[in-house]
Amino acid sequence: MRTQVGIIGAGPAGLLLAHLLHLAGIDSVVVEARDRGYVEQRVRAGVLEHPTAELLREVGVGARMDAEGLPHHGLVLRFDGADHRMPLTELTGKTITVYGQQEVVKDLIARRLADEGQILFASTDVRPHDLTSDQPRITFTDAAGKPQELRCDVVAGCDGFHGVSRRSIPADRIQAYERLYPFAWLGILAKTPPSHEELIYAYHERGFALHSMRSPELTRLYLQVAPTESLADWPDSRVWDELHARLELAGSEFSLREGPVVDRLLAGMRSFVVEPMRYGRLFLAGDAAHIVPPTGAKGMNLAVADVRLLARALTVFLSGGGSALIDDYSRACLRRVWRAEHFSWWMTSMLHAFPDDDRFGRRLQLSQLRYVVESEAAGRSMAENYVGLPYEF
């Protein structure tokens, strides 16, 4: 088998890259470890930045997002026994869109298949080779159990944090930067209408909680939990009790609606970046190159921003336009990556209860929260990061 760009991973990064390359007349094949059903059902991100939604629209995959996604103009920071609304649109002129990552993935898969693109689901033992030559290869075993080889001009490593691409780079050719957090997130999807029309980020002495949604009938909720806990430690009754305790305020009319839990997830929290995001003819994009803690809702948006640059750079390179853009790819991506790393670390640090936190630390968090909602300058700074800085930034 031969293609121009061999893409490892059919998450948002790999699928969008394949679509953008197709629009530019560049051929690609996506090799994915999981089957289609798994990839389409995996519940993860929910918030699309303004630039992400615009890009999906511009490249013709935004129709269902526009019909079913929920535009939001603000969010609520709940602390100190009160709600503080952050008017995102008023502060920035922009909106965010609540639309599930798996819906974006479904839309991209449908479009790739309609355009006769190749996505090789359920491929095992996927390995990139000869990355420093100008004819790299990807070997794998296909869904029927047959060994395969995909020869290409470049490989795009879009296989997430646990994928094979980053691990194929010799350790002395990349630098990793990492920070771990002493907590995890437990997320549930509940079949019940949201209890409030906006997202609520709740700072509470028992730990952080987040009220989000997927549709007028589906609520998404997250709880900060200890990193040592497992899902088995959290039967539904305990999850609901904790959510009530952290989200409901004495004297407020907000009351959390319960419903059947249809999905549960436990996610560790880390910040992680590798530099550079390239090794020879291997280009990393999305979670394969960087991870943010989910508090700022940045992960999938960064994956989209990476492949926007990568598609352009590869198109120029593979059309004979020279290597200037691919040579600049890592530097150009890392500017936005580090901004999002800072924002996600900052949101995480401001909103979570740190196990060894002293009283001084909690006072600092409350002071920062108050500043963000009381100072227009501080509020605008948070809002412009949250809705997504322009790609030109």
Q: How far apart are CA 144 and CA 214, in angstroms?
A: 35
Active site residue 294: yes
- Residue 220 binds: one of ligand FAD, ligand DHB, none (C-beta under 5 to 8 A by kind): ligand DHB
Which of these is catalytic: 99, 181, 201, 279? Answer: 201
Most distant pair of Cα atoms in the chain: their distance: 67
Residue list 215-254, contact with ligand DHB (CB under 6 A):
220
Q: Residues 221 to 260: which contact ligand FAD by CB under 6 A?
A: none
In angstroms, the CA 257 to CA 5 distance is 47
Structural contact between residues 164 and 126, judged by C-beta atoms closer than 8 angstroms: yes
Candidates 72, 196, 204, 352; catalytic one: 72
Catalytic annotation on 204?
Answer: no
Among 33, 108, 247, 256, binds ligand FAD (CB under 6 A): 33
Q: Is 258 helix (H, G, I), strand (E, B) or coil?
A: coil
Q: Which is closer to ligand FAD, CB of 14 or CB of 51?
A: 14
User: Is 181 an annotated catalytic residue?
Assistant: no
Q: Which of 18, 21, 32, 86 binds ligand FAD (CB under 6 A)?
A: 32
| 8 Å CB contact between 40 and 185 | no
Tell which one of 46, 51, 62, 69 touches ligand DHB (CB under 6 A).
Answer: 46
Q: For ligand FAD, which residue of 1, 24, 27, 34 counts as binding (CB under 6 A)?
A: 34
| DSSP code per residue over 303-349 | HHHHHHHHHHHHHHHHTTS-SHHHHHHHHHHHHHHHHHHHHHHHHHH
Cα→Cα distances 358→181, 353, 362, 365, Å: 16, 10, 7, 11
- Kindly tell me which residue out of 163, 294, 379, 388 binds ligand DHB, with binding defined by CB under 6 A: 294
Smallest separation, CB 386 to ligand FAD (Å):
11
Give the Å distances, CA to CA, from 4 to 137, 322, 381: 11, 15, 41
Question: What are the residues facing 175 on neighbouring strands?
Answer: 275
Q: How many CB atoms lie within 10 A of CB 131?
A: 19
Binding string, residues 144-173; x marks residues near ligand FAD by CB under 6 A: --------------xxx--xx---------
Of 76, 190, 303, 311, the one binding ligand FAD (CB under 6 A) is 303
Q: How far apart are CA 181 and CA 175, in angstroms?
A: 20
- Out of 51, 298, 329, 352, the active site residue is 298
Catalytic residue, candidates 50, 290, 294, 329: 294
The closest alpha carbon to 336, from 280, 265, 285, belongs to 285
For residue 40, list its beta bridge partners.
none
Closest contact distance (angstroms) between CB of 370 and ligand DHB is 20
Residue nearest ligand DHB by beta-carbon distance? 46
Q: Determine which helix (DSSP H) or strand (DSSP E) holds 62, and give its type and residue range.
A: none
Can the peptide bond before residue 87 be classed as cis, meaning omega within 30 degrees of 0? Answer: no
Number of chain positions touching ligand FAD (CB under 6 A):
36
Neighbours of 317 (CB within 10 A): 21
* CB closer to ligand DHB out of 123 and 295: 295
What is the DSSP annotation of 196-243? SSSEEEE--TT--EEEEEEETTEEEEEEEE-TT--GGG--HHHHHHHH
Which of ligand DHB, ligand FAD, none interacts with 13 (beta carbon under 5 to 8 A by kind)? ligand FAD
| Residue 295 interacts with, from ligand FAD, ligand DHB, none (CB under 5-8 Å by kind) | ligand DHB
CB nearer to ligand FAD: pick between 299 and 379? 299
Residue 43 CB, nearest approach to ligand DHB (Å)? 8
Among 62, 293, 294, 379, binds ligand FAD (CB under 6 A): 294
47 contacts ligand DHB (rule: CB under 6 A)? yes
Question: Nearest approach, Cβ of 381 to ligand FAD (angstroms)?
Answer: 19
Structure letter (DSSP) for residue 279: E
| Residues 26-45: x where in contact with ligand DHB by CB under 6 A, - otherwise, as a string | -------------------x
Residues of this chain that bind ligand FAD (CB under 6 A): 8-14, 31-34, 39, 44-47, 101, 126, 158-160, 163-164, 185, 187, 265, 267, 286-287, 294, 297-301, 303
Catalytic (active-site) positions: 72, 201, 294, 298, 386
